[in-house]
C-alpha cells in the first residue's frame, strides 16, 4: 500500500471514530484518489445559510505534497463569493501551496477554509477572476500563486500541536515562548484559565508550577484568537495559523484528569465549567477521575455522588470514555435515574474502601443502558469483609437491579467468591435481556485458582456461551497455585466446545514473578494442551498465542527468554503442546504474537528459529508470526 493510501486510510478511520468538526461533513470518500466534503459556515457571517462542497484530489506524494483542493461548481453547489476564491472553484491559499505541512489533514484544510469564510468582511471576487478563469488549468496545483501576508504564527501553532515529548517540538520551544510573550495578557495566564482549581492540565497537585505551563499558554492563545472582541487578531493570522486552531484545541481538551487527593471532587464545578467552556465541551472525549497516589488516600474518603457524574455526562456530550481510578461512589442505583450510553467505562480499584468494590461498580454501571466496552480492574482480597448491611444491599441489587448491555468485557480481578458470583449473575442477566450483546471477553486473573474456575464455569455454563465470539484468556498466577490434590482433568473447566460461536481465541503466556522461581514462565503449557485436546471447536477460525511481559525486566528478559523456551526440561511440555496445535483443523489459523513481550526489537529470524525448534510440527503446518520491529 502506498504512503498516501495508508495516510488517507488513517484519516478516514479517525473521522469515523471521532467525527468531524461542526459544519463539516463527508459527502464522498469511496477511494483514495478523490474525496468531497461539505463546508457550512456557522454563526452570523456573510455566508449564513449557505453550504459549499470542497473536492480533494490526491496523488502518490500526499501528504508530502498538498492535495489539489477546490470548491465544487455544479448544479447543486457553487463556489463562495470571496476575495480568494475564483468562480471556477480554485482557491488562492498559502496553506495549499508553499506553507503546506505534511502534518495537516483533510479536516484541518476544511477548518481553515471554514475560518477563512467566517472572517470575510465583504463578498467579492478576486480582481483578476475573469482573466484567470479563462486560462486556468483543470488542476489548481498547476497554477503559480503569489501569496501575501504570511505571519510567523505558523511556527507557533504548529509547535502547540506537537506533543511535548515529541522531538520535533523541541527546536521551536524558545520561539513559542517568545511569540507567546507578545500576546496580550500572558502575565494573566493563570488567572485567565476558567476554573484553574478544577482542571489538572499541568503538573501534579504536589508540585505547583512557578509560571505559566505549556497548556496554560496554549489555552491563552486560543482564547485570544477566538474571543469575539479580538476578531482583528484572528484576521491578522495566516491561513496556516487558523488551520492549527482546531487540532490545538483538540490536543488541549481531548483528555482531562481530575485529582482530588484527600479532598472531595468538585464535580458540580467541573460540570459548570463544561457548560461555559465551549472548547472543553466540544473536544473532551476522555475524563479521568483519580483519587491520587496510593499513600495519599485516607481511610475514610468521601464518595462521589453518581448524580454529579450524570451531570458531567449531560454537559460533556462528546465524552466517550470515563475512567474511575480508586474512586468510591455513593448514591442509590436504580431505574429512577436517566440512563446513558458510553463507548468505554473503566473502573480500577486497588484499595478495599469501606463501601465495597463491587457495590461501587454496580452504582456506576446503573447510569448506563449500553456500554460498548466495560473494563473492570478489581482487587478485593480474600480477607476483605464488607461492613454490616452491605451484603444484604448487594444481594438486593443483584436480584432487582439493572445492568447495561455490553459488547466487550475486560475483567481483571482477584475478587473473592461472593463478589465474582454476584457480578457474573448480573452479566448473565444482561446477556438474556439484551440478546447477542456480549461478544468479546478479556479475562486476567490476579489471584487464586478459584478465580479461574469461577470464570470458566461462568462462560461455559451460562447463557454467555451462546453469544461469545472472541475470548482472550490470561490465567496469570492462578495456574501456579493450582492445588496438588486437584486432578488434571479439572483443567477442563474451560470447555471451549460449549462456546458455540467462538471464532477467535487468545491464550496468554504471561511472564510473571512468583515464588516458584524460573519455572513460572511456561506453566500454561500443560493446561492449554489439555484444553485444546478436549473436543473440536467448530466455529473457531483463529487461535492466537500471546506472549506478554508483566514484569519490569527489559533487556535481560529479551536476552534470556528464547533460551528459556529452548530449555530441555520444558521439551516434553512443548512437544505435547505442539502435538495439540498440529491436530487442530486446517481452517484454524495459528498466530504467535510476541509484540507485547518486548518494547524493542530482536533479530528478525531469532523468534522464527526458536519456534522451529520448540513447535516443529505446527511451524511446518504453517503459522502467522507477529513480533516487534527490529
| From the candidate CATH numbers 3.80.10, 3.30.160, 3.90.320, 2.30.30, the one assigned to the domain spanning 254-438 | 3.80.10
- C-beta of residue 364 within 8 angstroms of C-beta of residue 328: no
On the question of pLDDT at 220 being above 50, the answer is yes
Concerning whether 92 is annotated as a catalytic residue, the answer is yes
Torsional sign, CA 369, 374, 380, 381: positive
**Whole-number Cα distances in Å, 501 to 424, 429, 592:** 20, 19, 22
d(CA 493, CA 100): 60
Following CA atoms 269, 274, 280, 286 in sequence, which dihedral angle do they give, to the nearest 10 degrees? 80
Domain ranges of the chain: 3-142, 153-246, 254-438
Burial status of residue 54 (CB atoms within 10 A of its CB: 0-12, 13-18, 19 or more) = buried
pLDDT category of residue 58 using cuts at 50, 70 and 90: very high
- The pLDDT tens digits of the residues spanning 142-160 come to 776 655 443 333 333 333 4
In the sheet that holds 24-28, the strands lie side by side as 24-28, 34-40, 51-57, 68-71
DSSP code of residue 90: B
Within 8 A by CB and 6+ apart from 332, the residues are 363
d(CA 526, CA 515): 19
Provide the CB-side half-sphere exposure for 323 (13 A, CA). Answer: 14
* pLDDT on residue 486: 56
* pLDDT on residue 570: 84
- Tell me the average pLDDT of the chain: 72
367 or 38, greater pLDDT: 38
- The pLDDT tens digits of the residues spanning 306-354 come to 888 888 898 888 899 999 887 777 766 555 566 788 999 998 876 543 3
**Record: fold of 3-142:** Ubiquitin Conjugating Enzyme (3.10.110)
Q: Which three cell numbers stand for residue 59?
A: 496523488
The residue-averaged pLDDT of 461-485 equals: 73
496 or 40, greater pLDDT: 40
Q: Which three cell numbers stand for residue 274?
A: 463544561
* pLDDT on residue 444: 84
Q: Cell 463569493 belongs to which residue?
A: 81
Within 8 A by CB and 6+ apart from 138, the residues are none
d(CA 368, CA 285): 17
Amino acid at each position: 500500500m502506498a504512503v498516501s493510501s495508508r495516510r488517507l486510510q488513517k484519516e478516514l478511520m479517525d473521522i469515523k471514530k471521532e467525527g468531524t468538526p461542526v459544519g463539516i461533513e463527508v459527502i464522498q470518500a469511496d477511494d483514495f484518489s478523490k474525496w468531497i466534503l461539505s463546508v457550512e459556515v456557522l454563526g452570523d457571517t456573510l455566508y449564513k445559510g449557505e453550504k459549499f462542497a470542497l473536492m480533494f484530489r490526491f496523488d502518490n506524494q500526499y501528504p508530502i505534497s498538498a492535495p489539489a483542493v477546490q470548491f465544487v461548481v455544479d448544479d447543486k453547489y457553487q463556489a463562495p463569493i470571496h476575495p480568494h476564491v475564483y468562480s471556477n472553484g480554485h482557491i488562492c491559499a498559502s496553506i495549499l501551496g508553499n506553507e503546506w505541512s505534511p502534518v495537516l489533514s483533510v479536516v484541518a484544510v476544511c477548518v481553515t477554509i471554514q475560518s477563512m469564510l467566517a472572517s470575510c468582511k465583504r463578498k467579492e471576487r478576486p480582481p483578476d477572476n475573469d482573466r484567470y478563469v479563462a486560462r486556468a488549468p483543470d488542476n489548481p496545483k498547476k497554477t503559480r500563486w503569489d501569496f501575501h501576508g504570511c505571519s510567523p504564527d505558523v511556527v507557533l501553532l504548529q509547535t502547540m500541536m506537537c506533543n511535548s515529548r515529541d522531538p520535533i517540538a523541541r527546536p521551536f520551544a524558545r520561539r513559542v515562548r517568545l511569540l507567546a510573550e507578545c500576546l496580550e495578557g500572558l502575565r494573566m495566564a493563570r488567572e485567565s484559565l476558567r476554573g484553574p482549581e478544577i482542571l489538572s492540565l499541568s503538573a501534579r497537585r504536589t508540585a505547583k508550577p512557578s509560571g505559566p505551563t505549556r497548556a496554560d499558554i496554549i489555552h491563552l492563545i486560543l482564547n485570544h484568537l477566538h474571543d469575539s472582541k479580538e476578531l482583528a487578531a484572528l484576521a491578522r493570522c495566516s491561513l496556516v495559523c487558523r488551520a492549527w486552531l482546531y487540532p490545538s484545541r483538540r490536543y488541549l481538551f481531548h483528555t482531562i484528569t481530575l485529582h482530588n487527593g484527600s479532598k472531595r471532587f468538585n464535580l458540580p464545578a467541573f460540570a459548570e465549567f463544561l457548560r461555559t467552556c465551549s472548547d472543553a465541551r466540544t473536544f473532551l472525549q476522555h475524563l479521568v477521575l483519580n483519587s491520587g497516589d496510593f499513600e495519599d488516600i485516607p481511610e475514610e474518603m468521601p464518595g462521589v455522588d453518581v448524580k454529579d457524574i450524570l451531570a458531567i455526562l449531560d454537559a460533556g456530550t462528546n465524552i466517550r470514555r470515563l475512567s474511575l481510578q480508586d474512586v468510591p461512589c455513593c448514591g442509590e442505583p436504580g431505574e429512577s435515574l436517566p440512563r446513558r450510553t458510553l463507548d468505554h467505562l473503566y473502573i480500577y480499584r486497588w484499595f478495599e474502601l469501606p463501601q465495597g468494590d463491587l457495590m461501587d461498580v454496580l452504582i456506576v454501571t446503573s447510569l448506563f443502558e449500553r456500554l460498548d466496552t466495560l473494563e473492570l480492574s478489581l482487587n478485593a482480597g480474600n480477607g476483605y469483609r464488607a461492613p454490616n448491611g452491605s451484603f444484604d444491599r448487594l444481594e438486593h441489587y443483584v436480584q432487582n437491579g439493572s445492568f447495561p448491555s455490553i459488547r466487550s468485557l475486560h475483567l481483571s480481578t482477584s475478587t473473592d467468591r461472593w463478589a465474582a458470583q454476584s457480578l457474573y449473575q448480573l452479566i448473565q442477566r444482561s446477556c438474556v435481556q439484551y440478546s447477542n450483546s456480549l461478544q468479546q471477553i478479556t479475562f486476567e486473573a490476579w489471584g487464586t485458582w478459584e478465580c479461574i474456575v469461577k470464570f470458566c464455569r461462568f462462560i461455559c455454563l451460562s447463557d454467555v456461551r451462546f453469544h461469545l465470539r472472541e475470548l482472550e484468556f490470561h490465567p496469570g498466577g492462578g495456574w501456579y497455585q493450582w492445588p496438588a490434590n486437584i486432578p488434571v482433568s479439572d483443567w477442563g473447566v474451560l470447555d471451549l466446545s460449549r462456546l458455540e460461536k467462538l471464532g477467535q481465541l487468545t491464550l496468554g503466556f504471561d511472564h510473571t514473578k512468583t515464588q516458584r522461581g524460573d519455572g513460572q514462565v511456561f506453566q500454561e503449557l500443560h493446561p492449554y494442551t489439555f484444553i485444546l485436546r478436549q473436543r473440536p471447536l467448530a466455529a473457531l477460525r483463529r487461535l492466537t498465542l500471546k506472549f506478554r511481559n508483566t514484569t519490569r525486566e527489559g533487556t535481560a528478559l529479551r536476552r534470556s527468554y528464547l533460551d528459556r523456551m529452548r530449555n530441555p526440561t520444558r521439551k516434553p511440555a512443548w512437544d505435547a503442546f505442539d502435538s495439540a496445535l498440529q491436530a487442530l483443523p486446517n481452517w484454524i489459523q495459528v498466530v504467535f504474537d510476541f509484540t507485547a513481550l518486548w518494547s524493542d526489537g530482536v533479530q528478525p529470524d531469532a523468534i522464527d528459529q526458536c519456534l522451529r525448534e520448540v513447535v516443529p510440527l505446527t511451524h511446518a503446518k504453517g503459522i502467522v508470526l507477529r513480533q516487534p520491529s527490529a
